[in-house]
Amino acid sequence: MSDDAAGGAPAAPGPTPAPEPAPAPAPIVRAEGLTKTHHGEGAPVHAVRGVDLTVRPGEFVAVTGPSGAGKSTLLHLIGGLQRPDGGKLWIGGQRVDTFREARWAVLRRRSIGVVFQFFNLVSNLTVADNVELPALLAGASPKAARDSRAELLAELGLEGRERAMPGELSGGEQQRVALARALVNHPALLLADEPAGSLDSKGTREVLRLLSRFHQRGQTIVMVTHDARMASAADRVISFFDGRIADDAQLGGGRREKPGGVSRVLDLKE
């Protein structure tokens, strides 16, 4: 699903022809000097101050840090939910910081899935419609949208809940619906903003298990969390303080491809 996003090569110093021994795949996310300041009442808040970040295909990156450190703002900038004041941003090799809302909407529909702490489902649509809607908006036929929805809901253990309204579901179930909605268009990038922030420990485990499962299949994920247990499921943890990256750590000692390593972390028995 990265084909459509690989279009325009950036005019700025190119990220792709880096003089590295092995040709690395184009990053899913590349940010340079990303900056965002919130102007509200009182003093301006420098939420993101000159962040450089590269996320490669297949990575599962967690961003942790104290509340108010700017980690959610960073995620929103990457997903185009907020616009940076400065810096450059590429998604799938395409320069996007200059995009207006209409182009962002298209990009998000095709290439970026987002899940939020409070699910943000459409409360007067059924579970099935919540999941099918983004597929239809992206141009899928009604049948294709139904098929994708059925497949995802089965996968997420929500068979039989298609006709339910979001309000009739538990928090954990609502987050699974939100995950299905985010993934229905097979986005190259999944963004998760405190996805277990309003769930109990059972719901948290469930969401983690599913994120890990999609990651194992190659889904690129960037997740903001204050929960170290969530963060340790990722293979890279960025510590965010005061609008800046304080540390960027590969877990498990660098690139891990050993069988049964990260892949089995949360493969809980059903």
Give contact residues for another protein (rule: CB under 8 A).
65-66, 227-229, 231-233, 237, 239, 241-242, 246-247, 249, 251-253, 262, 264-269
Residue whose pair of structure tokens reads 């949208």 in the numeric block: 145
79: CB partners within 8 A, 6+ apart? 108, 112, 114, 191
Cβ distance 230 to 196 under 8 Å? yes
DSSP for 33-56?
Answer: EEEEEE--SSS-EEEEEEEEEEE-
CB of 185 to another protein, least distance (A): 30
For residue 194, give the nearest of 231, 149, 146, 232 by alpha carbon.
231
By beta-carbon proximity to another protein, the closer residue of 64 and 117 is 64
98: CB partners within 8 A, 6+ apart? none
CB of 8 to another protein, least distance (A): 37
By beta-carbon proximity to another protein, the closer residue of 169 and 233 is 233
How far is 5 from 57, CA to CA, in rounded Å?
13
CB of 106 to another protein, least distance (A): 37
Cβ distance 178 to 143 under 8 Å? no
CB of 211 to another protein, least distance (A): 12
By beta-carbon proximity to another protein, the closer residue of 184 and 221 is 221
By beta-carbon proximity to another protein, the closer residue of 154 and 249 is 249
CB of 213 to another protein, least distance (A): 12
By beta-carbon proximity to another protein, the closer residue of 138 and 251 is 251
Strand partners, 240: 245
CB of 240 to another protein, least distance (A): 10
CB of 207 to another protein, least distance (A): 14
By beta-carbon proximity to another protein, the closer residue of 180 and 231 is 231
DSSP one-letter code for 90 = E
80: CB partners within 8 A, 6+ apart? 96, 99, 104, 107, 108, 112
How far is 162 from 128, CA to CA, in rounded Å?
5
By beta-carbon proximity to another protein, the closer residue of 65 and 203 is 65
Cβ distance 90 to 96 under 8 Å? yes
